[in-house]
Structure 1
């Protein structure tokens, strides 16, 4: 692996670890708060504060106000399709479904990113990439017990819609990250995104629930918000260093973390199928590390 790609893949593995923990913890948090919109807004507010503090602590905060109008429009788009609408969809769906099923639908992100990255980013995944994607998805399905009981109901459709929006976000971030530091993009995603969420809460009848959020609710929001801040920071930095398909493929490994937590905390049995799933995911991750994405077109910034 080249130096920058290697660092990007390493950051992607860190993102996968955070994601696996976050999906599991969020499945409890969203049920504790009950109102998915309020829960999402509270934890995203925490994440925005974390990312603002990170940005202020770096030199990348200085040129933000000098960005051209086109870049500001891009930041607003990231806030809409990455930091607000899909969160409401995802956590509304998560409140209805198991964390394992939610993890599977969300981790199909790599498929949609691969579909979009070829025409829009000029990335050319090789045979190893497609083999890796297949292994990762089959491995995750195995971890879900063969997705026993899985069906496309209202919750799954919400999570899929959120995943498709996040796939578009990955493409947009990848196009912008060459000209704007990833920490600035991360703050735009969560900072502007939470402003939109607060606006939605205020006009959709959830404001009273947000202001009356209990101490327990804020504890969940604090925990998951910190995880989300770490997720976005490492994710965007990984995208700045490595191809979008490579980084997104590694994220699927988060399913191992979620399944492991399910087994340890909930006593879910470790079956031969579970071992098979972990083995396939490890093989898929290994293929991603050894693969190469060719980039054949120059991107307009």
Structure 2
């Protein structure tokens, strides 16, 4: 049976919240932003049914382009274990606005698949639909867990996750009425892990500990250490609905990292940098 492409991701797919994921800040921010874009693109792949040599496709990130080069160069190749790609990006990716950087990530992902399309028999229409799927969701990844009902079946609790531009999740736990779905109480945003599987591990930890009280672990990483536990009661006052988990920024001595910015996708003070164009080349078998 021929496998179908079911996941596309940028390497590294995860990293420390407060340390660079790659050797450069540009590569770091590209990889972090790619988390939300690639999760949404991967969702679209489930319905696309693209035949592939392997179910996963990895894009290596963080390599600097030649001095003076303004565009990103992406080499697409076929190895013994499947297809892959490597990007050489010009400096300045970290200075893009969050949504411009997300569009740049999508340009790279889209370019890789279009370069492979004639070699794999993929239609342009299918790739158009995949791109439209990501753009139609604002280049974001959000997920609400299945609900768990209370002992008396009056209430239902669920966790709502949002993958932020720093590559990590933000999660709130909420309690709703089972009779009309009304929101009764909700926690403030908490740090969640950086992958969908991490979100699912946290959601599985939701427990009703009384008829009107529920607990869960917002962050469960690769080692499955449950860490912090958060409790919520039906009559707890809801926090300000505009609250968003503060951004996690790499701390470098030569970088002025934004401080105290609580917008969903924090923007740099100066965002005059244009989004690099993407040039792709199929190298063939390596």
**Larger RCO: Structure 1 or Structure 2 (Cα < 8 Å, ≥ 6 residues apart)?**
1
Point out the structure with the larger strand share. Answer: 2
**How high is the TM-score relative to the length of structure 2?**
0.29
**Higher helix fraction (1 or 2):** 1
Larger Rg: 2
TM-score by length of 1: 0.27
